[in-house]
Amino acid sequence: MEWNLTNHAIDLEEQFFANQDAELVAKLKAELKAKEAKTALASASGIKDPAVIDELFELGINPTTLAALSLVPLVEVAWADLELDKREKGAILKAAAEKEITPGTASYSLLENWLKAKPDKAFRKAWTDYVHALCQNLSAENKDSFKKEILESAYFVAKASGGFLGMIEKISSAEERVLSELEAAFT
C-alpha cells in the first residue's frame, strides 16, 4: 500500500481518539476508586455528610489513617507555641499508644509527620468538621463523654511541657487559646 496524506490523516485521527479513550477510561477508574474510598471512609467514620467526607479525603484521611484524626487536638496544643518539645511529644505518643496507634500503621506514619512539622491548618478544620458531624449522631451523654476525653488528653499535653524546669504545671496563653477553640468545636 502506498503512503498518502489521506492514510496518514486517518492514522493520526485514530491515534487521537485512542488517546482520548484511554484518558477517559483512566479518569473514570480514578473517579470510581475515589468514590469507593469515600464510601469506605464514611462507613469507618460514621459520618454521612458528603462535604465532610470530601474534606477528609482531600487531606489523605482514609479508613487506615482515620484514627490519627483523633490526635489532631493534641498535636495542635503541642504546636500552639510554634515548637513541640520532647515532653509534649512523649505525651502525644502515650495517647497514641492508648488508642492503639502504633509504629508501622498508617495512622502512626501520619502522626510522625505531624510531630516533625506543624500540620496544615486544614487538618484542624477537618477535625472540627468531623467533630460537628460525629456529634450529630451521638446522644448528649456520649457527646459529653467524647468531649471530656478529647479535652482531658489535650490538657495533659498542654501541661506536659510545664513551667520552670517542667516542675510547675503551666499552660501558656497560646495553649489556652487552642484549648478554648477545641472546646468550642463541640458546640
Which pLDDT score is estimated for 167? 54
Q: At what angle do helices 50-58 and 121-135 cross, to 10 degrees?
A: 150
Give a yes or no: residue 137 inside a domain: yes
Q: Is residue 80 part of a domain?
A: yes
In this prediction, residue 134 carries a pLDDT of 86
Greatest alpha-carbon pair distance for the chain in Å reads 91
In a domain, 87, yes or no: yes
pLDDT of residue 137: 79
Residue 20 located in a structural domain: no
pLDDT of residue 27: 77
Name 48's Cβ contacts closer than 8 Å, sequence gap at least 6.
42, 133, 137
Q: What tens-digit pLDDT sequence spans the chain (187 residues)?
A: 455 667 766 777 777 777 767 677 777 777 788 888 899 888 888 888 899 899 989 988 888 888 899 999 999 999 999 999 999 999 999 999 999 999 999 999 999 999 999 999 999 999 999 999 888 878 899 999 999 999 999 999 999 876 545 555 678 899 999 999 999 999 8
The domain containing residue 54 runs over which residues? 50-184
- pLDDT number for residue 161: 77
CA contacts within 13 A on the Cβ side of 23: 6
What's the rounded Cα separation, in Å, for the pair 23 and 103? 38
Residues 143, 135: contact at Cβ < 8 Å? Answer: yes
Residue 147 lies in a domain: yes
Residue 73 has a pLDDT of 95
Query: Would you say residue 29 lies in a domain?
Result: no
Distant-in-sequence contacts of 51-59, Cβ < 8 A, 24+ apart? 51/129, 52/126, 52/129, 52/130, 52/132, 52/133, 55/122, 55/125, 55/126, 55/129, 56/126, 56/130, 59/120, 59/122, 59/123, 59/126
Q: How many C-beta neighbours within 10 Å does residue 3 have? A: 8
| Number of domains comprising the chain | 1
What CA–CA distance (Å, rounded) separates 121 from 138? Answer: 26
pLDDT of 113 reads 95
170 falls within a domain: yes
Residue 5 lies in a domain: no
